[in-house]
Amino acid sequence: MAEFVFSNAAREMEVYGYDSVVKSHCRMCHGGCGVLIYTKNGKVAKIAGDPGCPINHGTLCSKGIASHQLAYHPDRLTYPVRRVGPKASGQWEHISWDEALDTIAERILDYKEKFGAESIVMGYGTGRENEAVIYRFANLLGTPNVLTAGHFCYGPRIATSIITCGSNPIVDYENHPKCIMVWGNNLVISNPDCSKGEPFSVSVNKGAKIIAVDPRLTRIAARADVWLQLRPGTDTALALGMLNVIVNEKLYDQEFVNKHVYGWDPFVERVNDYPPDKVEEITWVPRNKIREAARLFASTKPAAIQLGVAIEQQVNCADNNRALMALMGITGNIDVPGGQVLFSTPKIRNVGQFGAHRMLPHEQSLKRVGGDRFRLAGNFAIINPKCVWDAILKEEPYPVKMLFFISSNPVMTRANAKEVYRALEKVEFMAVSDFFLTATAELADIVLPAATWLEMDYIGDFWKRHGYILPRRKVIQVGECRSDHEMLNDLAHRVGQGEYWWDTFEGGLDYILEPMGITWQEFKKLDHIRGEVRYRKYEERGFSTPTKKFELYSTLLENWGYDPLPKFREAPESPVSTPELYKKYPYILITGARSPGFFHTENRQVPWLRELHRDPLVEIHPETAKKECINEGDWVEIESPRGKVRQRAKIFAGIDPRVISAQHAWWFPEKKDPGHGWDESNVNILTDNAYNTCDPAMGATSVRTLLCKIHPEAR
């Protein structure tokens, strides 16, 4: 098979008469892929993958290609606006950047003086490569409250991996794992953090065995050697069951265990609580399949686990991560070629240093909302969203007066959306920076026009753990849009932080690169820089944990008052934990299966991407559909104890008849009223955010597994 055949860029320029081709770094998801941007008459005319980029080898996804439709979208906000009518009235006036930033600065200083800096909550959604700059601003301001997706996305991977083995172990696709266990992840169509779908595909094509753990039949599951179709929310039990087999059949790496793990004996005792027959009862996965998967994973070297966000949006968030890390660890796949590697970043100022966490006064860090309740999260500067809504609605433990959301649409993406909406309606002042007037932005006082990745210079992927950094180069300017980095750099001067910032944000880029002895102007001439690649670093210096070992038994969790070993908790709402409720809501609802083209709430107004999916879909097994009198394409109502929403039925035999799978983050930007249909199909109308339903250590909301009923919409 002829791989990597691509058109010559010079010939492309010649044939189409493009003015320039610029290498850059896409950020339609969290970043990652190298791209070639062709321009004509000062505008982006075509986006293609960069064949020279080690992340994607020239391939791209639908989002990356369609980026210019996003950048030039007619509905884009291209200048700052101030709301002149009531909230959600859609009445705005054009104001200048100076006026917008002065107004925001004035409010910040006023609330800080009257209510303390903690009354100002900064926020972002999923990682958009602006997190370090937002944390820097918040820490220097003195607020410990930065509301992100970090409680239930990526943050848990970072927090649990740091306490377990010092850093996040990344699958080493460059050395081709021979067995890949894909756990609740569909990286070939989703937005994976470090490795992209292309290197995974190459490893699979080279013959890697696949074990897929997923309640839905994905194409990865269909191609898998073993597919474990588990009951949603039972991942920790399944992982502990596999660990039980590996321990009892002595399939683990004895040398690694003897020399490098901490807490082996209590760990063995814990996994002995999860024999395969008991795990079968919990997970619905037949015991023989649990054994088969455990043996295949443990006996194939090197092996790796490709995991993602699905395991994190559960009550077992931290323990799901820790149980999977235990699987990587005891099978000897940590920090080995083709396994899971603790890559080193180049010698730059990393996100933690740039984020200026040490500049937050200790007494302010003690005020982090929910910091005493969700102590793993609190120690990584992450907060649970309900803590913020309670601080606004009930003024507990103190009033939050101001929200500043940057690339975040929490009325769509945070659990219990109705409560989120009430909080945003009540908060005294809210600023938003985004591409469009979203349903969240419609509740703001001031909305700033954010630049897309095509409109900024940045050091791409500098927050990631795969060890690469790549230059993102500004190609165009759209209206008055500014990058979040430039915007905060400017605002910082207006609130008295100027001494820690720069004349323009290029100074910030130089600051990040400074330890390497290069400037942004020098870096942007390069394709990428990679940190030193070394394996089995723990043999020389141990792991970066309190015991210097791979902590199966976490001494930090123990110090913080948690069970130091992973254990399975039943989902807060399930046939087992709430049998009475199950009689009224007789299906398990899972949410958030990814669709190509969308990135959470984004891109539903981008024509090439919306054309891929016109409507929100809910997957229903044919037997269930028949029982509930639902036909393919019907609009159906999905109802939970919190509310109901509508989506269209997709009859799908790849799901258990007891399970329903609804898509997330659906709104309708084509609806021009200020609600933009935020509450019609929004799955977070259905989800819960009560504290006792969240992961006790990480504060993750359990948005992936709940109970529902479903019926055709009344016509």
Which stretches of the chain bind other proteins, using CB under 8 A?
Answer: 1-8, 11-12, 15, 46-49, 51, 56-62, 65-66, 188-189, 196-198, 201-202, 205, 217, 219-220, 222-223, 227, 596-597, 607-609, 611-612, 652-654
Q: How far is the CB of 76 from other proteins (least distance, A)?
A: 19
Toward other proteins, which CB reaches closer, 386 or 610? 610
C-alpha count within 13 angstroms, C-beta hemisphere, residue 321: 32
Residue type, 533: V
- Minimum CB–partner distance for residue 30 and other proteins (Å): 16
- Smallest distance from the beta carbon of 572 to other proteins, in angstroms? 30
- Across 682-691, b (16+ Cβ under 10 Å) vs e yields bbbbbbbbee
- Whole-angstrom CA distances from 91 to 516, 574, 670, 691 are 49, 44, 18, 36
- Going by their DSSP bridges, the two strands 81-83 and 92-94 should be labelled as antiparallel
C-beta separation of 394 from 711 below 8 A: no
- The residue (of 227 and 587) whose beta carbon lies closer to other proteins is 227
How is residue 683 annotated by DSSP?
Answer: G
The minimum distance between CB 67 and other proteins, in angstroms, equals 10
Shortest Cβ 416–other proteins spacing (Å): 32
CB of 610 to other proteins, least distance (A): 9
In the complex, minimum distance from the CB of residue 78 to other proteins, in angstroms, rounded to a whole number = 23
Preceding peptide of 337 cis, ω within 30°: no
User: Is the Cβ of residue 2 or residue 714 nearer to other proteins in the bound state?
Assistant: 2
Number of Cβ within 10 Å of residue 4's Cβ equals: 9
Name the β-bridge partners of 94. 81
Q: Is the dihedral of CA 111, 408, 452, 346 positive or negative?
A: positive
CA 161 to chain CA centroid, Å, is: 16
Comparing CA positions, the residue from 550, 172, 528, 153 lying closest to residue 343 is 172
Would you say 289 or 414 has its CB closer to other proteins?
A: 289
Question: Which residue's CB is nearer to other proteins, number 32 or number 155?
Answer: 32
Nearer to other proteins, 62 or 344 (CB): 62
How many other CB atoms are found less than 10 A from the CB of residue 8? 9
Pair 355, 135: CB distance under 8 Å? yes
Closest approach of other proteins to the CB of residue 282, in Å:
22
For the CB of residue 657, give the shortest distance to other proteins in the complex, in Å.
Answer: 13
Helix ranges (DSSP H) in 450-598: 484-494, 506-513, 520-523, 538-541, 555-559, 579-584
Burial class (CB in 10 A: 0-12, 13-18, 19+), 540: exposed
Phi, psi of 268, rounded to the nearest 5 degrees? -60, -40
- Report, in Å, the least distance between residue 393 CB and other proteins: 41
Minimum distance of other proteins from residue 65's CB (angstroms):
5
Contact present, 371 and 391 (Cβ < 8 Å): no
Distance CA 414, CA 703 (A): 9
Residues 6+ apart with CB under 8 A from 262: 545, 547, 549, 550, 551, 552, 553, 555
Q: CA 700 to CA 121: how far, in whole Å?
A: 18
Are 252 and 218 contacting, i.e. CB atoms less than 8 angstroms apart?
no
Q: How far is the CB of 224 from other proteins (least distance, A)?
A: 9
- Which CB sits closer to other proteins, 457 or 619? 619
Beta bridge partner(s), residue 433: 406, 448
Nearer to other proteins, 275 or 654 (CB): 654
Q: How far is the CB of 32 from other proteins (least distance, A)?
A: 11
Q: Nearer to other proteins by C-beta: 27 or 482?
A: 27
Tell me the sheet residues that pair with 472: 458
Report strand pairing: 429-434 vs 446-449: parallel
Angle at CA 105, nearest 5°, toward 102 and 107? 110
CB of 474 to other proteins, least distance (A): 21
User: Least distance (Å) from other proteins to the CB of residue 6?
Assistant: 4
Nearer to other proteins, 53 or 529 (CB): 53
Instruction: Enter the tokens of residue 597.
Output: 């083209």
Q: DSSP state, 344? A: P
Phi, psi of 6, deg, nearest 5: -145, 160
Contact 241, 274 (CB under 8 A): yes
Q: Which is nearer to other proteins, 275 or 622 (CB)?
A: 622
Rounded to a whole number of angstroms, the minimum distance from the CB of residue 641 to other proteins is 31
Coil/strand/helix, residue 334 = strand
Distance between CA atoms of 187 and 199, rounded to whole angstroms?
A: 10
* Shorter beta-carbon distance to other proteins: residue 417 or 454: 454
Closest of 38, 125, 138 to residue 435, by C-alpha: 125
- Rounded to whole angstroms, the Cα distance separating 612 from 604 reads 10
Distance between CA 153 and CA 190 in Å, rounded?
Answer: 14
Q: Which is nearer to other proteins, 201 or 344 (CB)?
A: 201
Beta bridge partners of 49: 35
Residue closer to other proteins, measured from CB, 62 or 353: 62
